[in-house]
Each structure stands twice: as C-alpha cells, then as structure tokens.
Amino acid sequence: MISIQSLTHNYHNGPTLKFPDWEILNQEQWLLLGASGSGKSTLLNIISGLLKPQNGKVNLNETDLYSLSQKEMDRFRGQNIGIIFQKPHLIKSLNIFDNVALASSLAGVKINQSRVMDLLSSLGLEDKTKNYPEELSQGQLQRVSIARALVNKPALLIADEPTSSLDDENADNVLKILTQQAAENHASLVIATHDRRVKDKLNKEYLL
Amino acid sequence: MNILRLSTKNLLRNKLTTFLNIILVAFGVAILTILFLASTQIGDKLEQNAKDIDLVVGAKGSPLQLILSSIYHIDFPTGNIPLKDATELMQNPMVKRAVPLALGDNFQGHRIVGTDSGFVSLYGLKLVAGKFWSRDLEATIGSGVAAEAHLKVGDKFFGAHGLSDASDEHKHHAYTVTGILQAQGNITDNLILTNIGSVYKMHEPDHDEHEAQKEAEISNKEITSILIQYRSPMSVVIFPRMVNQSTNMQAASPAMESARLFSLIGVGIETLKWFALLIMAISALSVFISLYNAMKEKKYDLAVMRSLGASKAKLFFLVMLEGLLITVSGAILGLFIGHLALHMIAHYQESSQARLTGLYFVTDELYLIIAGLVIGVVASILPAIQIYRVDIAQTLSKEK
Ligand SMILES: Nc1ncnc2c1ncn2[C@@H]1O[C@H](COP(=O)(O)OP(=O)(O)OP(=O)(O)O)[C@@H](O)[C@H]1O
Ligand SMILES: [Mg+2]
C-alpha cells in the first residue's frame, strides 16, 4: 500500500506545488491526470524516491521513503518500484536480454533467467533477446522498458506519459500491456498522462 | 551482470577510441620496458664479465677501447704489445695472476682468443665434453659457439682474419675442436679458446707476403693484452700509474671504464625515459578526454541505472573501472610488446658478445603495471566524480 501525506514541493525559483493526499491500495490501477505543468512528473519522481520533497511523507508498504539513506533508497527503489519513462532509456551497449537482467543485478537481486525470458516473450519480444536497442522500433523498445520495470516483481509500477510518443495502435497496445502485466504481477499501477486516448481506460483517477 | 562486464561492454562500443588509448599507453610502457630490460642486462653483463679482473694492460690508445676489446670482446684491440715487456710485467710481485691474450681472428663472428690455462682459472671454466686445448691448433669452444656453429668435439674449422667477418679465411691451418665449455652466462660462451702459438701460426709471414707487411698483424714477439689480478687491493693506485708512466703500454681499469661507458649510455637512456614518460602523460590525457566526453552521453545511462537501484558508489566504480581497464590492459600489452621487441632486436643483433634477450624479467616491470593503475585513476577520477552531481530526476525527465 502506498500513501502520500501533505506533500509540497518547491523548485528553486519555480512554483510551489501542493499535492492532495493519496492512498493507493495493493493492485489498484490509477490514472494521474492534470494539465501540462501541473506537477505530474514531479509527483511521480517524489513517489519513486528520485526527488526529495520539501514537506510531507511518502510511505510504501510501511517504509517511510525519505527516512532512508541515499544508498538504501536506491536499493529500495530498485527492488520495489518499477519505473517506465516516456522514452525507453535502454543501455545501448547491452542487448535486450542484458538490459532487462541489468535491472535485477543493479537492485541486488539474483538474475532469474527464465523470469527475464518469460517477461520478454509475454511482451512478444522472444526473438529479439540478442538484439541491441538500435535494432528495435520505438514500440518494441517501450515494451522492453516495461519488462525491465517488472523484472524484480515490484509492488508499484509507475509510468510517466508512456504513450505520448506512440501512434494510436501502439499507445493502445502499451496501455493494455501495462494494465495486464500489473495485474499478472500483482503490482499497483500509476500512469501519469494528459493523453486523451488513455482517459477512461482505468477506473481510478487522481486529479492535479 | 557485474560492473566489470558492463564497463567492458561500454568500452567495446567505442572500439576505435578504446583501441587508440590502449595503444598509447602500451607504447609508453613498451619503451620503458625495453629501457629497463636493456639497461639491466647491459649492466649485468658489464659486471659479470669483468668480475675478477682488476686491470687490463695493452697497447696505448683509448682505455675504453682496450677494455671493450679485451674483456667484452666488442671493439677492435688498440694494437699489440711486445712479448718481452708483457712477460716482465706479468712477473711483477704485485701481480697475483696474469693472463695473456692474443686476438685477431674469428670464426663466424665468434672471436678466437689465444691464451693460456690462466684464462680457465680466471673465469672458472668447466667442460661439458672433451678436454681443454693443449697443442697448437687445438680449440676449446664456448657453449654458444657450439650451439650456433653446430660444432662437436673432433670437428675442424678455419679461422678467418679479422674480428667479425669471414671474407679472409686462413685456409692453410684448420683448428680441431677438443672440448666444449659449460655455459657460464658470460662472454666466454661466445669465445673460441686456443693457445697463443696457434694464433702466431695463423699469421706466419711465409705464406702470404702482404700479411707480413701489415703492422697491426700479430707476430711471434707480440701479444694483444694482459688481464691482471692484483695480489693486494693496495696496488690499485700504484700499479696502473707505474705501467702508464714507465712502460710503453697502457693500463685500464674495467671498473672505471665500465662506469664511464654506462654513464655515456645513461644519457641516452635518460632521454628516452623522458620521452616515454611524455607518451604516458599524453595517454593519460587522452583517456581522460575520452572518458570526459563520453560522460555527456553516458549521463543518461547512469541516471537510468540509478533509477534501477544502482548506488552512486557503484556507478563511480563503473566509470573508474573503464579508465583502469584501458590503462592496465595497455600496460600489460606494453610489457608484452617490450619483451617481444627486445627479443626481435636480439635476434637481428650482429655481435653475439653483447646479445640481449627478451626472455628476461625485472622487478621494475611491476612498477609499470602500478604506473598503469595510477594513470587510470588519474584519468578517470574527474569524470567519475561527476556521478555524484547527476540529478537523476532532472536528467531523465528532460527529453533527449
Ligand atoms: N527542474 C526544475 N526546475 C524548476 N522548475 C521545474 C523543474 N521541473 C519542473 N519544474 C516546474 O514545475 C512544474 C511542474 O512540472 P512537471 O514536469 O511536474 O509538470 P507535468 O505535469 O509533468 O507537465 P507535463 O504534462 O508537461 O509533463 C512546472 O511549472 C515546471 O515548470
Ligand atoms: Mg511530465
């Protein structure tokens, strides 16, 4: 279970952003909606432990995120939170299999080869495992980044504008995959978007 | 997947830059390796060959040349000295042991040395086959000679006039091999020992009228030089002065001349050393620039890895490791190239007397590996420290 309480953040010579309290129960799927510049990305960065807020608390399964040391936080994030960025951000020098396996080894989790293979084939990438990121399409790369986010069986899956750079068909696909995989892996899901196509696809909404 | 594998993959992605940097480091290390190896080997050889010889007496001329020709068998002799004067000197009470040398011929580049049994005890020679020479035209050969010229006990060969080439053979007298020496690891391995009478016989004037007229030619009343051991160290001061002032010969001390020779070589070695250090410094700079430039592109990768759970320290080592992999593999490659190059140089070296080898290791080489490590650290520490300044959230939310 994830909860945020009285969160505010103030960028250096930027606006002060206030975030309403929020509780996400296990395996719930949420849309994070708001206008451009309303602070969606900022909130997701705070929840995933990448950006320390000025005030307030973030709890994930009884762990107060910002009471952890930097190093503990990195590890906690690696093991409990899967992040999907707008761009796939894969490591160019590693092939697809290694890119996914890397998430395990960096989080200090033993690499589970069959888990990696299962994930990749459930995302339709079983014949691309030995290819390098340059050899894949945008949609395929986005699917690899989903596999990477899921490989450590995180409690929370976060996606920031996962569809904005994809065409209708791919956007629909990625959305389906996200909801389906989150359910299969018993993870809570939060998708931040201002993409009209995504609206009404998830039943819960948090508005900024 | 450990960070070693990750950094190797990163390096392999930029093959050309990596290769260039490794070559730069290797080049500097190779030059230093060759210098270390060659100077220690030359120093060792100088020392070993002159070990028990206090003084060399020969014809007037350059003292260094006298030492080079009579002890190291490299240069030409300064000339010859009258046998009568030499005998007189050899019987001086200050002299414990005196070994006469008569030089002038060679066999396939190996010098033929006319001498007496004193030479055997001076160098502590032992046989592996046959016996020592006793009569004229009998020869005992060094292990290196036997191996290179494929000579066995009982074989015959012709000496050639001069000290290195075989154009002018003494066809009328053949030497017989009577014995082969144990390998000593010094100059005697490459010498052919015989008695002084044989050398005289080669140069008897009755066969060839031209030869008789050449002044430098050795005759029955001359030898080339004498190797001397003192009875007491006190003689170091008096004896050479006595020779130089009261006779028509010159005395040269191997210790002094070797030191002088080494200091001459030393200037060249010093220059090359600075050159190699300059190359190493350039290689450090080049590795630094490559890593630093790569950081711009890598900032993204590193931010992703942080978001995947890697700590700052881990990524710091990842970048350090890339620098270290380049410089350490460069250092190892350089050592290898250095040994190989010296071995090739030795292979094509003409004088068998001063031959070097690449199959020789000195402890200084360890310092070269350490130098590789240090260069790697110096070159990668600044790029690696940038890890601590990367703001992941900001880097990742910026579109690329
Ligand atoms: N690094 C920063 N420094 C200063 N101000 C920032 C920084 N990042 C974001 N902001 C400001 O904070 C506000 C919220 O930005 P954020 O990126 O969270 O919005 P968003 O809802 O994700 O918008 P979009 O839908 O366009 O992605 C914006 O007004 C933005 O200008
Ligand atoms: Mg945003």
Atom index in ligand 1 nearest the CA of residue A38 equals 21
Closest Cα in chain A, distance from residue B8 (Å): 9
- Average confidence (pLDDT) over A143-168: 90
B310, A74: Cβ pair inside 8 Å?
Answer: yes
Residue B76 confidence (pLDDT): 87
The complex scores an ipTM of: 0.90
CB contact under 8 A, B9 and A93: yes
Which percentage of chain A shows pLDDT scores above 70? 100
N-to-C CA span, chain B: 27
Burial of B322 from C-beta contacts in 10 A (0-12 / 13-18 / 19+): buried
Domain ranges (residues) in chain B = 3-45+266-399, 55-252
CA B21/CA B329 separation, integer angstroms:
10
Using the beta-carbon criterion (under 8 Å), do B397 and A74 form an inter-chain contact? no
Distance from CA of B341 to the nearest CA of A (A): 35
For residue B146, give Cα distances in angstroms to A86, B70, B102, B149.
79, 22, 21, 6
B213 and A CB contact within 8 Å: no
Between B223 and B201, residue with greater pLDDT: B223
pLDDT of residue B1: 65
CB atoms within 10 A of CB A37: 12
- Least-confidence region, from A13-27, A190-204, B61-75, B100-114: A190-204
Relative to beta strand B138-141, strand B127-130 is: unpaired
**Cβ B301–A92 below 8 Å, yes or no?**
yes
Do A92 and B13 make contact, defined as CB atoms within 8 angstroms? yes
Structural domain count of chain A: 1
Q: What are the structure tokens assigned to B261, written together?
A: 């020779």
Please say whether the beta carbons of B33 and B338 come within 8 A. yes
Residue A90 near residue A144 (C-beta atoms within 8 A): yes
Q: How far apart are the first and last CA of chain A?
A: 21
DSSP string, A21-77: -EEE-TT-EEEEE--TTSSHHHHHHHHTTSS--SEEEEEETTEEGGGS-HHHHHHHH
Q: Whole-angstrom Cα distance, residue B359 to residue A87? A: 56
Q: Which of B87, B149, B95 is nearest to B116 (CA)?
A: B87
Could you tell me which residue, A59 or B268, shows the higher pLDDT? A59
pLDDT at B207: 46
Q: How many CB atoms lie within 10 A of CB B119?
A: 20
Say what the pTM is: 0.74
CB proximity B246 to A under 8 Å: no
Task: Output the ligand 1 site: residues, CB below 6 A.
Answer: A 11, 14-15, 34, 36-42, 194; B 394
Ligand 2 centre to CA of B76 (Å) is: 87
A85-116 residue pLDDT tens: 888 889 989 999 999 999 999 999 999 999 99
Largest CA distance in chain A: 49
Looking up residue A14, the CATH number of its domain turns out to be 3.40.50.300
Beta-bridge partners for B193? B113, B140
Pocket test residue of A38, A45, A86, A191 for ligand 1, highest count of atoms within 8 A of CB = A38
Name B112's Cβ contacts closer than 8 Å, sequence gap at least 6: B103, B104, B105, B106, B139, B159, B175, B191, B192, B194, B199
pLDDT at A165 over 50: yes
Alpha helices in A107-167 (DSSP H): 113-122, 138-150
The boundaries of the domain holding residue A193 are 2-207
Per-residue pLDDT band at B210 (split at 50, 70, 90): very low
Q: Which of B27-36, B77-86, B293-302 has the lowest mean pLDDT?
A: B293-302
State mean pLDDT over B376-385.
91
Element spanning A178, H or E: helix A168-184
pLDDT-derived band at B211, boundaries 50, 70, 90: very low
Best of A11, A158, A191 for a ligand 1 pocket test (most atoms within 8 Å of beta carbon) = A11
Please compute the mean of the pLDDT values over residues A167-184 and round it to a whole number: 88
Q: Are B53 and B122 spatial neighbours (Cβ–Cβ below 8 Å)?
A: yes
Residues B231/B95, Cβ–Cβ less than 8 Å: yes
Task: Give whichever of B40-49, B161-170, B253-262, B324-333 has the largest mean pLDDT.
Answer: B324-333
Least confident of B232-241, B259-268, B321-330: B259-268
Mean pLDDT of chain A: 91
Asked if residues B117 and B132 have their Cβ atoms less than 8 Å apart, the reply is yes
Nearest ligand 1 atom, CA A34: 21
